[in-house]
Every structure is written in structure tokens, then in C-alpha cells.
Amino acid sequence: EVQLVESGGGLVQPGVSLRLSCAASGFTFASYSMNWVRQTLGKGPEWISSIDTGGSSTTYADSVKGRFTISRDNAKNTLYLQMNSLKPEDTDVHYCAKSKGPKITTNTDEFDYWGQGTQVTVSS
């Protein structure tokens, strides 16, 4: 059974950093590209970032480019999202999601498993 478990969210002030983690199990983690997506209740998902199987290729949404860094540790079956210079508009539930294959895609329809999400709230 595929499981994705996010952690690391919280309530922080603008300008600070958080690091999200996603522990993966139930599949060969190193064989799939992975992704971070965020969503506000009542709105569609917003793709944030994706990483290839080996971690050498990454891509980011314009809204987070230069502030967020996606990475993975295939030995630990864990995906990370380092979030710096957080802004109030980053407030959302953040999800990690597994791609259907190894190739990077930003199309959320190509993500077949999602975690339960972790809330990030940025407020002064």
C-alpha cells in the first residue's frame, strides 16, 4: 500500500523558514518523480514543485521560485521542501504527491497518490 506522510508544517511569521518532509512507503521511491502541491479549501490544487528520480532535475512554480527548494533522499525514501522567506500567501495545506512514472510533470492529473497534507500558516 502506497503511503505518503507529510510533516513539518506550522504557524510562522512572515520571512521565516520551514522545512516540510514526506515519508514514502509501499513503492519503489527512487523510481518515480515526486511533487509538492498546495491547496486552499474550496480551490483547486496549485502545483508548486517537482523533482526527478535522482534529484538532479527540479522545477518550480513562479510563485515559489527562488524561495523554495525541493530535494529527496532516496536512501531514506523521503521528499523535502525547504521553504524560505515565507509570505502570507503561502498559507495553505501542502501535499506531497507521487507521479505515475519517472518523468517530471507539472500536470496534477499525472499524480496518482497524495499524502494527507500538512498545514502551513504564515501570519504576523
C-alpha cell belonging to residue 34: 515526486
**pLDDT given at position 35:** 98
Dist CA 33 CA 104 (whole Å): 6
92-121 b/e (C-beta count within 10 Å ≥ 16 → b):
bbbbbbbbeeeebbeebebbebbbebbebe
Confidence of residue 31 (pLDDT cuts 50, 70, 90): very high
**pLDDT given at position 99:** 98
**How large is the average pLDDT for residues 70-77?**
98
**pLDDT given at position 43:** 87
The helix/strand/coil state of 108 is helix
Q: How many CB atoms lie within 10 A of CB 57?
A: 12
